[in-house]
Structure 1
Amino acid sequence: MRKRVILAGGSGFLGTSLADYLVEEGYDVIILTRNGSKVSENGVRYVQWDGATLGDWATEVDGSFAVVNFTGKSVNCIYTKANKEEIVSSRLNSVHVVSDAINQAENPPSALIQAGSLAIYGDTREECDENAPHGDGFSVEVCEKWEEAFFDQTFDETRQVLFRIGFVLGQNGGALEPLEKLARLGLGGTVGSGKQYISWLHIDDLNKMFHEAIEDERYNGIYNATGPNPVTNQTFMRELRQAMGKGWAPPAPTPFVWLGAYTVMRTEPSLALTGRNCVPRKLEEEGFQFQYTNLRETLKELV
Structure 2
Amino acid sequence: METPHAHLQPLQTASSRQRIVIAGGSGFVGRSLAIALTARGDEVVILSRDRSSNTFPWRTVNWDGRTVGSWVEELEGATALINLAGRSVDCVKSPENIDAILRSRIDSTRVLGQALRLVKTPPPVWVQMSTAHIYGDSLDVTCTEQSPLGYGLAPFVGQAWEAALQESLLPEQRGVILRTSFVLGKNQGAGMGALKRLHGLTRLGMGGRIGSGRQGISWIHEHDLNTLFIHALTNSKMHGAYVASAPRPVSQVEFMRALRRALGVPIGLPSPAWLVALGARWILRTDPELALYGRYVVSQRLAQLPFKFQFEKIESALGHIFTQSGSTAFAA
- 2:260 maps to 241
- Cα contact 1:123–1:276 (8 A) shared by 2: yes
Does structure 1 residue 5 correspond to structure 2 residue 20? Answer: yes
Q: Is 2:88 the counterpart of 1:77?
A: no
CA distance in 2, matches of 1:150, 1:281: 22
Distance 1:289 1:41 in 2: 29
**Residue in structure 2 matching 1:146, options 161, 170, 180:** 161
Aligned residue in 1 for 2:106: 92
Partner of 2:145: 130
The 1:73/1:41 distance shift into structure 2, 3 A limit, reads: closer
8 Å CA contact retained: 1:198, 1:275? yes
SS of the equivalent of 1:297 reads: helix
* Aligned: 1:54 with 2:54: no
Q: Deviations over 1:211-249 (max 9, x none)?
A: 011111111000000000000000000110011100121
User: Against the structure 1 CA distance between its residues 134 and 156, is the aligned structure 2 distance closer, same or farther, given a 3 Å change threshold?
Assistant: closer
The separation in 2 between residues aligned to 1:157 and 1:214, in whole angstroms, is: 15
Of 19, 31, 34, 2:49 maps to 34
Instruction: Quote the offset at 1:63 in angstroms.
Output: 0.7
Three-state SS of the structure 2 residue aligned to 1:53 is coil
Q: Is the partner of 1:104 in helix, strand or coil?
A: coil
Q: What's the CA shift for 1:135?
A: 1.5
Matched, 1:158 2:173: yes
Match of 2:326 in 1: none
Question: Are 2:266 and 1:266 aligned?
Answer: no
Which of 253, 272, 293 does residue 253 from structure 1 map onto? 272
Q: TM-score, normalised by structure 2?
A: 0.89
Q: CA deviation at 1:154?
A: 3.3
Residues 191-224 of structure 1: CA distance to partner in whole angstroms, max 9, x if unpaired?
1110000011110000000001111111100000
1:283 CA drift (Å):
0.8
Question: Using the alignment, how far apart are the partners of 2:101 and 2:40 within structure 1?
Answer: 33
1:184 aligned residue: 203
> Residues 80 and 125 of structure 2 are in contact (CA less than 8 Å); yes or no, is this contact kept in structure 1?
yes
1:116 corresponds in structure 2 to: 130
| 2:121 counterpart (98, 103, 107) | 107
Q: How many residues align?
A: 302
Q: How far apart, in 2, do the equivalents of 1:41 and 1:201 lie? A: 25
Unaligned regions of 5+ residues in structure 2, if any?
Answer: 1-15, 323-332
Q: Which has the higher contact order (CA 8 A, sep 6+)?
A: 2
- Provide the secondary structure at the position in 1 that maps to 2:81: strand
Contact 2:26–2:50 (CA under 8 A) maintained in structure 1: no
Give the letter for the 1:278 counterpart.
V
Q: Does 2:238 match 1:219? A: yes
Query: TM-score, normalized by length of structure 1?
Result: 0.97
Question: Equivalent pairs: percent with the same residue?
Answer: 41
- For residues 22 and 53 of structure 2, the distance between their equivalents in structure 1, rounded to whole angstroms, comes to 14
Which stretch shifts more, 256-265 or 146-155? 146-155
Structure 1 contact 38–47 (Cα < 8 Å) conserved = no
CA distance 1:206–1:175, change in 2 (3 Å): farther
Runs of 5+ unmatched residues, structure 1: none
Is the contact between residue 126 and residue 176 of structure 2 (CA under 8 Å) also seen in structure 1? yes
- Aligned amino acid, residue 163 of structure 1: L
